Amino acid sequence: MASDDDDLPELVNADNVESSDDSDEEKWEEIKDDNDEEETVCLFCETKFSSIEKAVPHLEQVHQFDLKTLKAKYSMDFYSYIKLVNFIRSNKITNPKDLTSTDNSPLWLDDKYMKPAADYESWLSYDFDELEISGPTSENDKIIEDLRNELRTKDQLLQQALDDMEKMKESYKRLIGKEEPTTIVQKKKNHGTGVASVSLDADSSYFESYSHFSIHHSMLSDTVRTESYRDAILKNPDAFKDKDVLDIGCGTSILSLFASQSGAKNVYAVDQSDIIYHAMEIAQINNFNNVKFLKGRLEDIEMPFEKVDIIISEWMGYFLFFEGMLDSIIYGRKNYLKEGGLILPNRCNVSIVGYGCEDRYNNFIKFFDNVYGYNMKCILKDILREAHVEKCHDEFVLTKPNIVCELDINTCDLSYSNFTYDFSLEVTKDSKMTSIVGYFDTFFDLPQENVSFSTSPAATPTHWQQCVFYLDEPVDVKVGDVVTGKFICQRDRKDLRSLNIEIRVFDKVFKYELN
């Protein structure tokens, strides 16, 4: 997934609204458009029109430039169209013939043309995706179109092969010591032990996972998560008014839109995943023009600012620390947050409880005792080493909780996930304990209204659910008993986004992996 272009920021302005100071919760989705009606200037001359719809026939009649034909010829999508418009404006093209090279290939495909040439460009609001194109008019046309598509695919594969060969040459040169390390390697040395010390190639699967829409649907539909951020931002407009905000790992940009709506002056939305292209479109469709998008890993790109007033991010993973995204928040705090600036959320803690659901234990763990008449208990050792993410129920919680880790995002360092805690879990029910369950709480401490949420089994379920550490055998416990032990959490040295957890309890040592 990673390429040389991934290391460079793509700065894109999308249309926005100036938000009202009205923090009424019922109005949080309202979006105001402060842009007056803009004139549309022809793409190739200075002729002006009152609308794009009136400008399109002019392109066809005067400049013999047909968007439908171009869309069909190059199988263009909305992003190709954005690049086309920005290419024309950036290079002051006056003749449509100058849009293609001598081999009739398009010249506007470079990702740098995702950046608009001007603050406002009416052509970028044109609904290009809805532009209907007619199919081939004859069998010969269809054959020609199929051949063009085949050639285009082969050209892309050839270019990828050439890029890969160039990367191998550069790696070989560095290997034999013929030149100094590249800037990226030098930056890598400065990243310490955090996840940014991992190469983008090695870390590509992590970012690719956030290119899939299902994970964003899961997060956005999590009302506890999304409404907590919404309330923290929109109910504290004084904290955001006229401020510069950095949204790390912006995803679909929902937090950036909240920040803009709450009165932020500028919002810088950063994400390495390709979902950022959809975030740009979302901001544009909803008329947000002070949200600026930067594609790349925070630690590897140059920012168009020195410092910001606020950092916002939804970085929490399973059991809070899984994925290690907090590393990037710490990097942003150290390098880009003004002294006394605000981080949201600013506090988190991790808790554990004793848990006992025999039905679940028997259906999952004991299941392997007899699988269609066969003993498969030999695989239990590996199954028990896995920390499982599941939805747990308050009725099966057997003990009072212990907070095993408290985290201040304003001061924590990269060792945040390495801790040891001696726990004492007071039993509140007679039952069989089948597991230890972990969860986290999150806090937004703000001047006007504090906001918090919990992922405990007693709280409204979230997409994070809970982290379950199964015991090898159920243990009888009674009210008043105190289950003591040691909880040890360490970042995995080989996979910096994963965790190794050890629980010493009931005179046994259990080791788990969360990856």
Give the active site residues: 314, 323
- In whole angstroms, give the CA distance from residue 123 to residue 42: 9
Helix (H) or strand (E) holding 85: helix 78-90
Nearest to 114 by CA among 276, 228, 272: 276
- In whole angstroms, give the CA distance from residue 116 to residue 11: 9
Interacting residues of 352 by C-beta distance below 8 A, sequence separation 6+ = 401, 402, 404, 423, 425, 436, 437, 438, 487
Question: CA of 402: how far to CAs of 140, 399, 406, in Å?
Answer: 73, 9, 11
DSSP secondary structure letter of residue 379? G
Residue 275, both tokens: 């979902």
**For 265-298, what is the HEC assignment?**
CEEEEEECCCHHHHHHHHHHHCCCCCEEEEECCH
Q: Length of the chain in residues, anyone?
A: 515
- In whole angstroms, give the CA distance from residue 268 to residue 10: 11
DSSP secondary structure letter of residue 42? P
| Other Cβ atoms closer than 10 A to 22 | 11
- In whole angstroms, give the CA distance from residue 273 to residue 442: 25
Evaluated on CA atoms 440, 444, 445, 448, the torsion sign reads: negative
- In whole angstroms, give the CA distance from residue 75 to residue 274: 20
- In whole angstroms, give the CA distance from residue 461 to residue 431: 24
- Quick one: 452 exposed, middle or buried, by C-beta within 10 A (0-12, 13-18, 19+)? middle
Peptide bond into 345 cis (omega under 30): yes
Question: CA of 474: how far to CAs of 29, 131, 277, 361, in Å?
Answer: 49, 63, 49, 8
